[in-house]
Structure 1
């Protein structure tokens, strides 16, 4: 394990830039760790389906979060930008080297960028990158049951609901909520991606 040092980011693990029609995705830098990003994490409308909702977040905490990813092999935090260079959200990828799958998470923090299809495009681009360029065998993620727009997105791109953790977490309503577990295998993505060739035809991947 690499040493984790607040206010200093560890070296990038996946130094790739993925560009689509509407968004650009690249490893997060110190520039994006700012008051705007922090405000997303402490906004109850944005964080209601995120684990950070339980505690007040800090800039140091963001550095620790990014470094906790970068201290692991093939794990990374990516920033999502509009084509105008506006930071609108993040994607977290955690690699399980023993079982050869990645855990995936996405947040669109900029409220003006929500419900515009940007998160959907970013996820399609990242799945393509993780499966075809990185060669991972499976992508897994958990979604709080009340986060309907999120789990519908994963289902629409071919992920299978593999299980339900009943009453797994306490939601912002202070009541227990289920967590849906989703997974998609590489061979399933190679079939499902055919529906998104209009998006994938625009993909450009280069080293950062």
Structure 2
């Protein structure tokens, strides 16, 4: 593994995002209605400058860790994954991601990325629990978290707005006892 990467998985390398990653491709992802359908960024204007500000802000906070996902076969940046904020007191954090490169959809890369960052968070960052929430109709994301060893822990009814309609939010979590399934998911 290159020293530039924080961790890796069978098909992906992960490294802290840099300003050079915040270009036209990243902006195009956030402007694509299919990509941003379930992202909160869809509610606000997106520019390269705003993306750079977001990345700089996250990178400046010690309790948040934002990584670009890069294909190992060709080095292409396909999306981002974040763990944080992490509560030091409770040793828990949130996981969120998006794959902006639509050519990389449907290949199990989200599951692989979730498993990889989860193992990293437990083994390197010292978390005891990870959580994620997603719109209930975002079944691709839900399945990716479940395949990565997470368990559904809750349902927030009519909790988020999509196209003017309220939708349920599913809450999923991962604890240390679940890590065996997560490690297995990373290898399958």
TM-score, normalised with respect to structure 1: 0.81
Counterpart residue number, 1:206: none
Q: Is residue 2:176 matched to residue 1:186?
A: yes
Unpaired segments of 5 or more residues in structure 2? none
Q: Distance in 2 between matches of 1:178 and 1:193?
A: 26
Counterpart residue number, 1:89: 79
Secondary structure at the residue paired with 2:80?
strand
> Runs of at least 4 residues of structure 1 off by over 6 A?
none
Q: Is residue 2:105 matched to residue 1:114?
A: yes
Counterpart residue number, 2:46: 57
Q: Is residue 2:147 matched to residue 1:156?
A: yes
Structure with the bigger RCO (C-alpha within 8 Å, sep 6+) is 1
- Residues 197 and 168 of structure 1, relative CA distance in 2, 3 Å threshold: closer
Does structure 2 conserve the Cα–Cα contact (< 8 Å) formed by 1:73 and 1:97? no
Q: Distance in 2 between matches of 1:193 and 1:46?
A: 26
- Residues 159 and 193 of structure 1, relative CA distance in 2, 3 Å threshold: closer
Q: Distance in 1 between matches of 2:98 and 2:47?
A: 17
Q: Is residue 2:167 matched to residue 1:177?
A: yes
CA shift, 1:104, in A, is 0.6
Alignment of 1:25-174 (within 5 A): 25-83=14-72, 84-94=74-84, 95-171=86-162, 173-174=163-164
Secondary structure at the residue paired with 2:142?
helix
Counterpart residue number, 1:203: none
Unpaired segments of 5 or more residues in structure 1? 1-14, 200-208
Q: Distance in 2 between matches of 1:44 and 1:17?
A: 30
CA shift, 1:197, in A, is 6.2
Secondary structure at the residue paired with 2:127?
coil
Secondary structure at the residue paired with 2:89?
coil
Counterpart residue number, 2:10: 21
- Residues 169 and 100 of structure 1, relative CA distance in 2, 3 Å threshold: same
Deviates more, 1:82-91 or 1:97-106: 97-106
Would you say how many aligned residue pairs link Structure 1 and Structure 2?
A: 183
CA shift, 1:16, in A, is 5.2
Does structure 2 conserve the Cα–Cα contact (< 8 Å) formed by 1:141 and 1:181? yes
Q: Distance in 2 between matches of 1:61 and 1:22?
A: 30
CA shift, 1:198, in A, is 2.9
TM-score, normalised with respect to structure 2: 0.90
Q: Distance in 2 between matches of 1:36 and 1:195?
A: 33
